[in-house]
Structure 1
Amino acid sequence: MRQSKHRALRDAGPVQSAVVVSRGRNRAWVAVEDDGALLLCDYPSLDELPVVGDSVLVRSVDGAAGEGIIVEVLPRVQTITRTTAGGERKTMAANVDLLVIVAALARPELRYGFIDRAVAFAEHQEITPLVALTKADLVDPTVVAQTLALYRDRLRYDVIVLSTVDHRGVAELAERIAGRRALMLGQSGVGKSSLFKVLGADRGARVGEVNERTGRGRQTTTSSRLAYLGHGFLIDTPGVREFSLADLDPRDLAACFRDLASHLGACRFPDCRHLEEPSCAVRAAVENGEIAATRYASYRRALEQASGSLLSD
């Protein structure tokens, strides 16, 4: 029965390809790929509920400007998932191949813990991380150098230093996103809005949040945004606040910290959590400087707050 309804919807008129930007319980915002137009869509009788990043086929609703219907969710290349408190596996986003982790070097103060948990999340989900350090114009160059020394030189992560004041790194960021399906992750006040403004995307849009309870669209300061860049896109959505390491077995958490991972298996006890256990290879590496103290502190905090959000302090 659902298949017949699905086929009827698709055959009712011409369809367009689009990308899901934000989703509520009953409706979703999509950006049409041809022209970037935004549609607030219902999604009745679908076998698979749409999520952020989904490629979908949509049909406009006659007589209702700016509204449409999602008639099909296209096959997913990749998914970001988590386990809910009830043990259910939930898909949070789809078709994302780049996680842009935005952190300010100043105002607010640089939060190493957030960066560390976010890159660990990317490692866990097998998504390429890109660390975007904003507000470089507000700090001494030595701060920039120290941060690059850790994340770029020591840990071998891809890092871009940015300033929307002098446009430092903006062109480089646009090049990295071009052709990719990127999701932006960052705390409040780190300059995400400014980045969207200066990226100079071919098409960019701010869309209203979809109310989870009613499915109705509304304009808020926590709206989702999408920017198209060279056949790729960058999405910033409030939904990423649900992403966390909560469903990761504590025994597997250390493997998501690449500097800790190289010491796993060398501890005295196979089930070592690298906290207070004797003859721990990880703690020995911290003591001799092989692992940065800030990174080990981030690991311990992630372990202690496994149920917390990546965006919590």
Structure 2
Amino acid sequence: MTTGKIIKALSGFYYVKAENGEIFQCRGRGVFRKNKVTPLVGDIVDFEESNPGEGYVLDIKSRKNELVRPPVANIDQAIIVVSAVKPAFSTLLLDRFLVLVESKQIQPVIFISKMDMVDQREKAAILRYQEDYQRIGYLVQLVSSKQEEGLAEAEKLIKDKISVIAGQSGVGKSSLLNAVNPRLNLETNEISESLGRGKHTTRHVELVEINGGFVADTPGFSSLEFADILLEDLPDCFPEMRERQGDCKFRGCMHHKEPKCAVKAAVEMEEIPEYRYQHYLQFFEEIQNRKPRY
């Protein structure tokens, strides 16, 4: 029996990279189907070789996390790519991505792309936002694929980790990965502008090896809806609220209409950006008004 990592899943086959670097095309044992368990890309598995280069997955080690869209397990970080311009920088969209990633207990890293295209006024605004998010505790890297700005730092962040990349259409996700590792040659127009959907969507997910780490080569989160987030869990998806929770007068404070709320006080004192709190209220309302699923 050998241990390895599933790096690709395609048409019922699992491509497992063994610790010695060899890749085996494996099938899953019937017991997985019976127990309604699906091996995922990123899983650490035990497998048995049946023929040269082929085998069967026998056991899946316990996962530290998993995503449904894209279906990947044991993710170390989600790289959220937002562009400074074209499309315009949006704190609302960035906060949606952050909440989705936080809800899965995955470490987010923020890349702001296309920094070569900003004018002085736009750059000053981006630097202010960078400061805001860094104060919350997020790592924010400014990058430009064309001018190779921030690429060395991006390489270091990818090394030795499994990363998923998320970001809306046209922000330069593939350009960024190609700039970090030119051998990849990913199709830069991987998202059809008119459809807003991936041309090679989640039919297959693959971990691409880049600089000693793995990146999921698939469009990131195919849905930006908060379908799986419970209302009471929303404050935990905002780190600046999570750390002030104990200072609120009421246990389980939702930082909405309750009196003596430490979060609302921090917003008034400008310790928490007003726009972050407004987005929180917007998401709160969205989850509260969500139609129940039966």
Shared fold (TM-score, shorter chain, > 0.5): yes
Q: Which amino acid aligns with 1:288?
A: M
Aligned match for 2:124, one of 129, 134, 142? 142
1:106 aligns with 2:85: yes
Instruction: Spell out the pairing of 1:181-196 with structure 2 (5 A cutoff).
Output: 181-196=162-177
| Alignment correspondent of 2:6 | 19
Whole-Å separation in 2 of the counterparts to 1:132 and 1:307: 31
Structure 1 residues not aligned, in runs of 5+: 1-9, 83-89, 207-218, 309-313
Distance 1:307 1:36 in 2: 49
Deviations 1:50-102 (A, max 9, x none): 1232245587989xxxx9765345414512257xxxxxxx9943121121111
**Contact conserved, 1:137 with 1:163, CA < 8 A, in 2?**
yes
Distance 2:185 2:56 in 1: 21
2:61 maps to 1:71 = no
Identity %: 28
Helix, strand or coil: the match of 1:247? coil
- Conserved in 1, the CA contact under 8 Å of 2:165 and 2:220? no
TM-score when normalising by structure 2: 0.74
User: Cα gap change, 1:113/1:279 in structure 2, threshold over 3 Å: closer, same or farther?
Assistant: same
SS in 2 for 1:117: helix
Q: Distance in 2 between matches of 1:251 and 1:31?
A: 39
The residue that corresponds to 1:95 in the other structure is 74
Q: Could you tell me whether the CA contact under 8 Å between 1:119 and 1:129 is conserved in 2?
A: yes
1:306 is aligned with what amino acid? I
SS of 1:240's equivalent in the other structure is coil
TM-superposed CA distance for 1:173, in Å, is 0.7
Cα distance change of structure 1 residues 80 and 273 upon mapping to structure 2, 3 Å threshold = same
Q: 2:292 is matched with which residue?
A: none
Once the two structures are TM-superposed, the CA of residue 161 in structure 1 deviates from its matched residue by 0.9
The one-letter code matched in structure 2 to 1:105 is A
Aligned partner of residue 305 in structure 1, secondary structure: helix
The alignment status of 1:261 with 2:242, answered yes or no, reads: yes
The Cα of 1:187 is off from its aligned counterpart by 1.7
Name the residue aligned to 2:232. 251
Q: Which residue of 1 aligns with 2:38?
A: 49
Say how many residue pairs are matched. 269
Q: Which runs of 5+ in 2 are unaligned?
A: 188-197, 290-294
Equivalent-residue separation in structure 2 for 1:239 and 1:29 (angstroms)? 21
TM-score by length of 1: 0.70
Distance 1:111 1:247, change over 3 A: same
User: Quick one: distance in 2 between partners of 1:294 and 1:28?
Assistant: 46
